[in-house]
Amino acid sequence: MPTNGLHQVLKIQFGLVNDTDRYLTAESFGFKVNASAPSLKRKQMWVLEPDPGQGTAVLLRSSHLGRYLSAGEDGRVACEAERPDRDCRFLVLPQPDGRWVLRSEPHGRFFGGTEDRLSCFATAVSPAELWTVHLAIHPQAHLLSVSRRRYVHLCPRDDEMAADSDTPWGVDALVTLIFQNRQYCLRACDSRYLRSDGHLVWEPEPCARYTLEFKAGKLAFKDRDGRYLAPAGPAGTLRAGRNTRPGKDELFDLEESHPQVVLVAANHRYVSVRQGVNISANQDEELHHETFLMQIDQETKKCTFYSSTGGYWTLVTHGGIHATATQVSANTMFEVEWRGRRVALKASNGRYVCMKKNGQLAAISDFVGPLLPPGPTQSGKAGDGQWPLTPDSPPGEDEEFVLKLINRPILVLRGMDGFVCHRRGSNQLDTNRSVYDVFHLSFSDGAYQIRGRGGGFWYTGSHGSVCSDGERAEDFVFEFRERGRLAIRARSGKYLRGGASGLLRADADAPAGVALWEY
């Protein structure tokens, strides 16, 4: 059974980029380190750990090897220490431009170099000793103020971002970290950037860029004047205060942002908990009572639905579905069947969830209507593996729901080889980049349209290639297959995948491996 826990703090992994735009790399052979890699992959990922002793020193552990970076008295560096010793202790010295300098604490020398000529023997800082921090985590998350224990969210009415929410509910709580010019911007769900004076702006101007700092596993954001973002006043408005050193008020946690969804039943009404413990399809608008947090168990691939009222969907007597469970159990787990633009949910009793005549949901059906084969449907459009919505409901329609993702109006995708990004000088998309582009989503009847740079739509071209300059939108279906990962199905029925060429293509037969995307 999956563990409970709606709010998981992300383990901060990052890459270190030198002055020649090459990443610090830990090699398995000889536990050597170099700075030769042009992109951020597994060997280039590091974790910063506080030194268990007293003081301000930190440890750098390779995510790939699980071993610690060390620097000897003679300046030689390696990544072979299974347990940190004296030579593994470094001091992080943030620079005004956002880069880091790493100094060996016991020996007082600076770490730097190029390619396979790295050492920790410099007595002064030159460009070769400057490192840019590039976060390796997915950049879309929830931001939690450590001192206030409140989540940051967009306040459109007040035109600000504030740390005043008990739960990260709804689209307003999504924060996207944008990496630009060796610094980071905080982008709200409406695509505006947070400026250090607390205002929101449409462009990532210098006052909206921050140097990232770590302290005891937490994050701090320093503006260009050396001041740190913090919640201010009773409203918790996020802006740079007077402090030039990060205290508890200036520290934040990044938490995983699970998908939050709404479901529409065959009566075209939203599934809701507004009426109490019963789950019923009886609402005409999507607000907090109609929004559910969807968590997928990595082992079983089954999912839970958590409501804004504080309860999980659970199977009760006679097949009813109530939002009353406080713990995850077998009865709170549902198997999702992806049926084109629709989904069906199977409860722990082996039966499908359906909408009864009074709108209430119950797991009492033994079957769902068959999928349509490829070809024209009653609507005249190509079949997409669903029953079309018509006045004469075919068998099984009461067991099918439209599932809509509501907390990703802007989308960042990462595959096994890197992020999805526009290919320079082309209308195609790369899938192996260290940097990422932000795409915009719109939703229509169980499918999504994706817009890229310049407002062009994604569409599938010849040989399954995915292009990003379409004048007309093409529908893509999202299938949430694993925790934090989705599959994207094109109109051809094939899934989008990355590959050795680095191009995004719609030619995968199964939603697995290179056809799964962090989102």
**DSSP assignments along 73-90, one per residue:** TTS-EEEEESS--GGG-E
Tokens 């050396």 belong to residue? 226
Q: Cα–Cα–Cα angle for 333, 443, 160, nearest 5°?
A: 90
Question: Is the confidence at residue 395, as pLDDT, over 80?
Answer: no
In angstroms, the CA 2 to CA 334 distance is 12
**Highest mean predicted confidence (pLDDT) among 41-55, 87-101, 102-116, 488-502:** 102-116
Three-state DSSP at 208 gives helix
Whole-number pLDDT of residue 98:
73
Of 254, 241, 242, the closest CA to residue 212 belongs to: 254
DSSP secondary structure code for residue 372 in this structure = P
Three-state DSSP at 24 gives strand
Question: Is the confidence at residue 371, as pLDDT, over 60?
Answer: no
Question: Is the confidence at residue 329, as pLDDT, over 50?
Answer: yes
Q: Read off the pLDDT band of 362 (50, 70, 90).
A: very high
| For residues 304-326, average pLDDT | 95
Of 402, 395, 338, the closest CA to residue 365 belongs to: 395
Tokens 């992994």 belong to residue? 13
Question: Is the confidence at residue 113, as pLDDT, over 90?
Answer: yes
pTM: 0.84
Question: Is the confidence at residue 384, as pLDDT, over 50?
Answer: no
Whole-number pLDDT of residue 99:
86
**HSE-up (13 A, CA, CB side) for residue 176:** 25
What proportion of the chain, given as a percentage, has pLDDT over 90?
74
Question: Backbone dihedral region of 86: left (phi > 0), alpha (psi from -120 to 50 degrees) or beta?
Answer: alpha
Q: pLDDT tens digit string along 222-260?
A: 999 999 999 999 999 999 998 888 899 999 999 989 999
Question: Is the confidence at residue 388, as pLDDT, over 60?
Answer: no
Question: Is the confidence at residue 396, as pLDDT, over 80?
Answer: no
Tell me the CA distances in angstroms from 421 to 255, 428, 515, 517, one per residue in order: 24, 9, 16, 13
Based on the number of CB atoms within 10 Å of its own CB, is 381 exposed (0-12), middle (13-18) or buried (19 or more)?
A: exposed
Whole-number pLDDT of residue 49:
87
Whole-number pLDDT of residue 381:
37
| For residues 313-320, average pLDDT | 95
| For residues 81-104, average pLDDT | 91
Whole-number pLDDT of residue 379:
34
Q: Read off the pLDDT band of 7 (50, 70, 90).
A: low
In angstroms, the CA 19 to CA 454 distance is 31
Whole-number pLDDT of residue 383:
40
Instruction: Please give the residue that has the higher pLDDT: either 256 or 380.
Output: 256
